[in-house]
Structure 1
Amino acid sequence: MSRRSVRLQKRSENSPRQRGKVTKQSNRKKIQPLSKLQCEKNQLVLEGVAKHPVLIETVEKGVGGDCDAVPPSTDSLVRPSPLPHLGWGSPEDVWLKMVGREQNYRHSKSFMQKHPTIQPRMRSILLDWLIEVSEAYTLHRQTFYLAQDYFDRFMLTQDNIEKSMLQLIGITCLFIASKMEEACPPKLSQMAYVTAGTYFEEEILQMELIILKALSWNLCPETAVSWLKLYFQVGSMNADSDLLKPQFPQDAYVQMTRLLDLCILNINSLDFEYRVLAASVLGHFIQQETAEKVSGLSRDAVKLCVDWMAPFVESVNWFGRAPLKDFARIKEEDRHDIQTHTHYMSMLEVSQKEENSQFLTPPNSTEKTCTH
């Protein structure tokens, strides 16, 4: 057990556990519980929780991963490292380790087949709500993407999860991710608060142990946003720059992350590796040759993902540019790293219409040929 977990356990033992109790802060917007965001059309009901959720002891092969393991060499691994010279390590070793994580931490949309009562849109609504919670608590983008990865991999290890469990699993994944990424993670009581009293603090702690065990404590993936940030950094830095210090324009990065956020809410994004997803996003904002150079991925390697992403690009363009927001107690140079929320569910609907129009739009009358 980590030192944070020990402190959390001691704090929870020494303080009375009250349902959904937390002190409100004036600079945080009020978050609606997920159960309030449902509508009859979606038929998503996330109220109540099973008191004794079932944990499947075994983990699917390739789901958990190992932070330090490197898989056997493949074509994608032997490509030259696109990383520049590093004063603190070998760029080849760093690249090999990063790609090795990508190969070991497996995700797949096939988990939907294991849970008959869960629909893809339910995942979208849950992740959209987690983004909203992340902004309310000024959590970093990496924190949300860790939570998304934990959720998808956990669902892949389970069978027949009821839809009433989704919000508990989601907020617990965010709780774990915040302890991994944040210097000052939200308290357990704050996580319970955003569920509007739907869950006890004890239920979140219980689910935390279930998720950690199912994932075999493998909590260090290279997320889609970490790949995107690396690519954009390498593409923006000059010869004298330090890879660890951001060199890219914040406004452009925010536009990229909004597109990535929108894509990750769609279940079909799990068809692609995170690094391919990030490279495809980058390719819509900079020259394709540069995107290939900084990602180490050829045009053919990302073509399928780039084509799939086209309706999402049209959707974000239709909604205009994303603002670069300011946050209290967040330095100006770090504000681009804070996860922000926007009308993602509306964007998803627009992107779906754009996708359908590619197949359903009939040809113009002038294009029709006459055979008589």
Structure 2
Amino acid sequence: MPIMSNCTKANHTKGERTAQHSRKRKADVAIFLQDPDENLELELIEMTKKKQYEHRGNWENGNSWKSPYKLIPTPEKESDTADIAPHPPYACLKFHSTVSPLPQLSWANRDDVWRNMLHKDSAYLRDKNLFQRHPELQQSMRSILLDWLMEEIYPPKLHQFAYITDGACTEEEILSMELIIMKALKWCLTPMTVVSWLNVYLQVAYSKELQQFLLPQYPQQTYIQIVELLDLCILDIGCLEYPYSVLAASALYHFSNAELVEKVSGCEWTELETCIKHLLPFAMAIRDTGKLSKLKFFKGVDIEDMHNIQTHTGSLDLLDKAQARKEMLQEDNRVTPVPNGILTPPQSDKKQRTGDSE
């Protein structure tokens, strides 16, 4: 009996040791096989924590100008002088901090939702150097293509696509090529678009404590006017320099003020300043038309969803006017540049003396 007891005890000890090794191996494998998207998200969070802005730019002291639209009054006094500071043609994409401006949500953790939105904004990148890789293409070709996509209300059916090719492509060949494209895109088909960001910002701006953040609760008229500005600036290649979250926040600034934009977007002013200047000529071009987009009513569409029906305007004509306005502002800035920061008088011994002072 003692011998059997010792053997049994030894077997139990060996089994426990084997289980410990097995659990350790499983843990090592789990660490090695972590979700790459999760790793990318964690790396993004760590990077953004390290890149905290220590200096906050003062817009009013240096480059002051009056926004074409101010639906929400602001107490600051602003001048009418417009200015666009020169910046690199392809600035580095910078994604703002992970501090969530979302209210408390009953259906999810607000920090997790915000981090997922930031992850999508960084994962779905735009190629700002596409014309360098395709010299046979022109910027106007991109603008016309996007304008056509905005104008197309109902996408053609599969049999219609096959019909207009006049037998060059069958329905099966179109589906096969679609599958190839989807695999090349790794089935990443749900980005946070610039309109999605704007929808979130306006919901935060007009949200109340009792609301559950489920349905949009903001002025539809304001929404479609900001979307008109975004639709116009998207046609220009310069928009590819900025993340969609920054573009939406900068467009909202032209209809509100800096305090509100920082509150609803979680962005610092230094992250938005360049993009706000970039959108200025587009906002001025729309203002020069003398009319703003108005909410339209469509048969069969609920009134709560009217603002989501995108209407097409003369975007290409406005684009030409905006680009001409941009060149004028850049030329004015080169002739009479406005210095940044606070001006200080020279030292007494370095002042130029005039005949009257002598």
- Asked if Structure 1 and Structure 2 have the same fold, meaning a TM-score greater than 0.5 normalized by the shorter chain, the answer is yes
Q: Whole-Å Cα distance in 2 between the matches of residues 354 and 198 of structure 1?
A: 46
- Alignment equivalent of 1:317, drawn from 261, 267, 287: 287
5+ residue gaps in structure 2? Answer: 1-35, 49-94, 337-358
> Normalising by the residue count of structure 2, what TM-score does the alignment of the two structures yield?
0.64
Q: List aligned pairs for 1:135-284, cutoff 5 A.
A: 136-137=153-154, 187-189=157-159, 200=169, 202=171, 204-284=174-254
Q: Does 1:121 align with 2:140?
A: yes
Q: TM-score of the superposition, structure 1-length normalised?
A: 0.62
- Does 2:112 correspond to 1:97? no
Aligned equivalent of 2:18? none
CA distance in structure 2 between the partners assigned to 1:296 and 1:199 by the alignment: 51
| C-alpha separation in 1, matches of 2:162 and 2:39 | 33
The SS at the match of 2:41 is coil
Q: 1:294 aligns with which of 264, 268, 273?
A: 264
Q: Deviations over 1:170-201 (max 9, x none)?
A: xxxxx6xxxxxxxxxx63245668x7979856
CA RMSD of aligned residues (A): 2.7
Are residue 303 (structure 1) and residue 273 (structure 2) matched? yes
Contact 2:96 2:271 in 1 (8 A): no
The one-letter code of the counterpart of 2:318 is: M
Give distance in 1, aligned partners of 2:251 and 2:168: 36
Distance in 1 separating the partners of 2:161 and 2:218:
33
What is the CA distance between 1:124 and its match in structure 2? Answer: 0.5
Contact 2:96 2:266 in 1 (8 A): no
**Deviation for aligned residue 1:333:** 1.2
Could you tell which deviates more after superposition, 198-207 or 226-235?
198-207
Q: Which amino acid aligns with 1:219?
A: L
Aligned residues: 250
Return the offset for 1:209: 2.7
Q: Which residue does 2:320 correspond to in 1?
A: 349
**1:33-112 pair list within 5 angstroms:** 70-72=41-43, 73=45, 74-75=47-48, 79-112=98-131
Contact 1:66-1:218 at 8 Å conserved across structures: no
Is 1:130 equivalent to 2:113 in the alignment? no
Rounded Cα–Cα distance in structure 2 between residues aligned with 1:276 and 1:345:
23
Give aligned-pair identity as a percent.
42
What does the per-residue CA deviation read over 1:88-118, in whole Å, with 9 as the maximum and x for residues that have no partner?
Answer: 0111111111111112221122122221211
Instruction: Measure, in 1, the Cα distance between the counterparts of 2:249 and 2:311.
Output: 21
Deviation, structure 1 residue 293? 0.6
Measure the CA separation in 1 of the matches of 2:268 and 2:122.
18
Distance 1:260 1:224 in 2: 8
Q: Give 1:211's aligned amino acid.
A: I
Distance 1:192 1:286 in 2: 47
Quote how far apart the aligned CAs of 1:71 are. Answer: 4.5
CA distance in structure 1 between the aligned counterparts of 2:167 and 2:132, rounded to whole angstroms: 27
> Structure 1: any 5+ residue segments left out of the alignment?
1-64, 138-174, 176-185, 365-372
* Counterparts of 2:168 and 2:206, CA distance in 1: 45
With over 3 angstroms needed to count, the CA separation of the structure-2 counterparts of 1:66 and 1:317, relative to structure 1, is farther
Alpha carbons of structure 1 residues 349 and 192: separation in structure 2 relative to 1, 3 Å: farther
1:342 aligns to what SS in structure 2?
Answer: coil
Distance (whole Å) between structure 2 residues aligned to residue 332 and residue 247 of structure 1: 13
Give the secondary structure class of the aligned counterpart of 1:109.
Answer: coil
Q: What is the rounded CA distance, in whole Å, between the counterparts of 2:38 and 2:181 in structure 1? A: 17
Superposition misfits of 4+ residues, deviation over 4 angstroms: 65-69, 190-193, 195-201, 361-364
Deviations 1:134-181 (A, max 9, x none): xx32xxxxxxxxxxxxxxxxxxxxxxxxxxxxxxxxxxxxx6xxxxxx
**1:82–1:129 distance in 2 versus 1, CA, 3 Å:** same
The answer to whether residue 302 in structure 2 is matched with residue 331 in structure 1 is: yes
The CA distance in 2 between the partners of 1:110 and 1:247, in whole Å, is 38
CA contact (8 A) 1:66 1:104 kept: no
8 Å Cα contact 1:71/1:100 also seen in 2: no
* Alpha-carbon distance in structure 1 between the residues aligned to 2:246 and 2:176: 35
